[in-house]
Chains A and B, each alone.
Chain A
Amino acid sequence: MLKIENLKAEIDGKAILKGLNIEVKAGEVHAIMGPNGAGKSTLANVIAGKEEYEVTEGSIELNDEDISELAPEERAHNGVFLSFQYPVEIPGVSVTNFIKTAINETRKAKGLEDMPAKDMLKMIREKSELLEIDRKFLGRSLNEGFSGGEKKRNEIFQMAMLEPKLAILDETDSGLDIDALRIVANGVNKLKSKDNAVIVITHYQRLLDYIVPDFVHVLHDGKIVKTGDASLALELEAKGYDWIKELA
């Protein structure tokens, strides 16, 4: 699904990713952990194609196609989804209108007609139930005045609607209380299939109690310094990150 080789990226001339390798296969869940400033969010943004970051070396392949030169919307059309750590507000644009536009623009890019309103409605109903989202919520302006939990739930709702091949959840657990965390994790688990993959970026073990990863990678100073199974996350929780820094 995703194959990243020797990825080096910088922002404003400052190197953040310094030769990163990772391979994620369909059906897998990978967790990326690491201390603040390790480059976790940079990795998410670079995969999604944020322009401020410059890829100086290496490659990003999605299903054997190099996507590192594609515009962010083209990567999205190819099935990359990023759940933002800080989702932005768009006043006056309802959650429904936004997701409708996103779906139809993606369909247009693939040469398809707009999704019939009836199908869209059915899908919205299903997915909002899955994430325990109230109908009234769908009419509100995107992220405007949303609580932290509502914002994250809305991100996963969009993921459910867009059905991406590769979903990257950037600190989706931050700002969530335990109930919201359970709903969000439950949603992600239900969306998992043998055909898609999930990368969970997190600081803490907490989310991984609910979304159990097949692999856990530790990112430090722009490189993956250790890879293990779910037990590695527990070890990090117990021992902190200092011993990892010494590994590097």
Chain B
Amino acid sequence: MSKYTEEQLEEELKTQEYKYGFYTDIESDTFPIGLNEDVVRAISKKKNEPEWMTEWRLEAFRVWEQMEEPEWANVHYEKPKFQDIAYYSAPKKKPKLNSLDEVDPELLDTFKRLGISVDEQKKLANVAVDIVMDSVSVATTFKKTLGEKGIIFMPISEAIQEHPELVKKYLGTIVPTTDNFYAALNSAVFSDGSFCYIPKGVKCPMELSTYFRINEGGTGQFERTLVVADKGSYVSYLEGCTAPMRDENQLHAAVVELIALDDAEIKYSTVQNWYPGNKEGKGGVYNFVTKRGLCENNAKISWTQVETGSAVTWKYPSCILKGNNSVGEFYSIAVTNNHQQADTGTKMIHLGKNTRSTIISKGISAGQSQNSYRGLVQINSRAENARNFSQCDSLLMGNACGAHTFPYIEAKNKSAQIEHEATTSKIGEDQLFYCNQRGIDTEKAIALIVNGFSKEVLNKLPMEFAVEAQKLLEISLEGSVG
């Protein structure tokens, strides 16, 4: 008999284990720990990079050396010891693959255990998958179909070799190397990531999908993603993450840059499920990510994120609405449980006329976790008739967690219209009993209530991703109801 009280709800939320806690034993090629100019040069050399790229990295490194780790976020953690991290790790077996059958069976098994097997992915007819495993892409599919449309979708390390002019033109233009501590670090040492270019007027016929995954113990992960949508083009990009269980904290400092030229649209969706640490708050990934997009005239960028993992999250996918009539959107679900801490939100920078932005943020806190929304809406003096709508909802479970909202609004143009709404609610025993009485057990009831709460954001995800995200929400919050 499952007697259910508020205390037990809390108890159950504490007792769930990380489902993806395993370690794939693939031989790796890892640099010794520590970071200096020689290591930066070595990374660049390892990847056969041109001189300009090496110089770009070194410049970033020199800036980073002078910077201090930011402390303004509402998170508390032991700072990573940056000289104790290995800055490069690549699977040693790196054969050229003509088909997925040639992929290391152990790697395929890893993906199967994640419930995102490549086989499964292949069946999702319209999804091209570029899998990033510990920094280096080991499988790329559907390249041919994309190639016919002139779409470039490849690991950024290859793009540096094959399309240096494009990479050079756009890399670091949205998130400069000097932007912040983690962005500078990423610029210096990024190992790999994805590059995507959609030519003028082309609507990408499939969702572009990448799975990121940290594998090697003690390895930092520094992904770099660059998406350029040329005039009048459209692309929907999916990024999903899971990481195996590790005792020491792992650092993940990614940078994502999006560029939507005139009349282009980019949809960028993320499901993040890095290892959150155990229920005592030991271990887990530090997720310090810089994501930013630029909209030219009539362009649109939508960020949708489902954040369920990581011990500490520090992430603000943002839009610079430079062009007139451009549109920025941010839809977010952030779940924290046990001792997880999340400080996440967005920045909408309105520069052009008639620019519009929408922010929908749903925070779900359980256990002893802390969940903060931090957002900036900035209307600059020349941004006539700018509009923003923000909605920040928090759902609390139990009495030991916290939800915080830090909305910043700066309006320098009188024609601006800004709306902000916020709510906080709690899953009540009455709601659970009502569901129970209809034959729905407590675990399922929590999933139902949480999915209902998150619906506006889940609806923004591409179909196959939404199903996975819904599953993740359930896993993140599921207990062991007897």
Contact = CB atoms under 8 A, between A and B. Distances in A.
Interface of A: 48-52, 69-73, 75-77, 80-82, 84, 87-93, 97-99, 101-103, 105-106, 109, 141, 158, 162
B434 A158 contact: no
Contacts of A76: 436-439
Contacts of A162: 438-439
Interface string B442-482: 10100011011111100000000000000000000000000
A29 B450 CA distance: 38
A136 B425 CA distance: 26
Given A70-B1, A90-B431, A93-B449, A105 B437 contact: no
Given A77-B439, A105-B441, A93 B434 contact: no
A72 B452 contact: no
B437 to A, nearest CB: 5
A48 B437 contact: yes
Nearest to A84: B434
- State which size class the interface on B falls in: 20 to 34
A170 to B, nearest CB: 11
Contact of A106 (B433, B439, B451, B454): B439
B430 A88 contact: yes
Contact of B433 (A51, A69, A103): A51
10 contacts: A48-B437, A81-B437, A88-B428, A90-B449, A91-B425, A92-B452, A97-B448, A98-B438, A105-B441, A158-B438
A71 to B, nearest CB: 5
B22 interface: no
B433 A101 contact: no
A92 B431 contact: no
A88 B432 CA distance: 9
Nearest to B456: A92
B480 to A, nearest CB: 14
Interface stretch (B2-10, B218-226, B284-292, B305-313): B2-10
Contacts of B437: 48-49, 72-73, 75-76, 80-82, 84
Nearest to A81: B437
Contacts of A93: 448-449, 451-452, 455
Contacts of B449: 90, 93
Contacts of B1: 69-71
Nearest to B2: A71
Given A76-B437, A77-B439, A101 B448 contact: yes
B474 to A, nearest CB: 13
A92 B441 contact: no
B358 to A, nearest CB: 18
Given A52-B429, A102-B438, 12 more contacts: A49-B437, A51-B4, A51-B429, A73-B437, A73-B441, A76-B437, A88-B428, A90-B431, A90-B435, A92-B453, A93-B449, A93-B452
B439 A109 contact: yes
Contacts of B448: 90, 93, 97-98, 101
Contacts of A103: 439
Given A51-B3, A51-B433, A101-B448, A73 B440 contact: yes
**Most B CB atoms within 10 A — which of A89, A92, A141?**
A92
A90 B452 contact: yes
A59 to B, nearest CB: 15
Interface string B407-435: 00000000000000000010011110111
Nearest to A52: B429
B436 A73 contact: yes
B451 A92 contact: yes
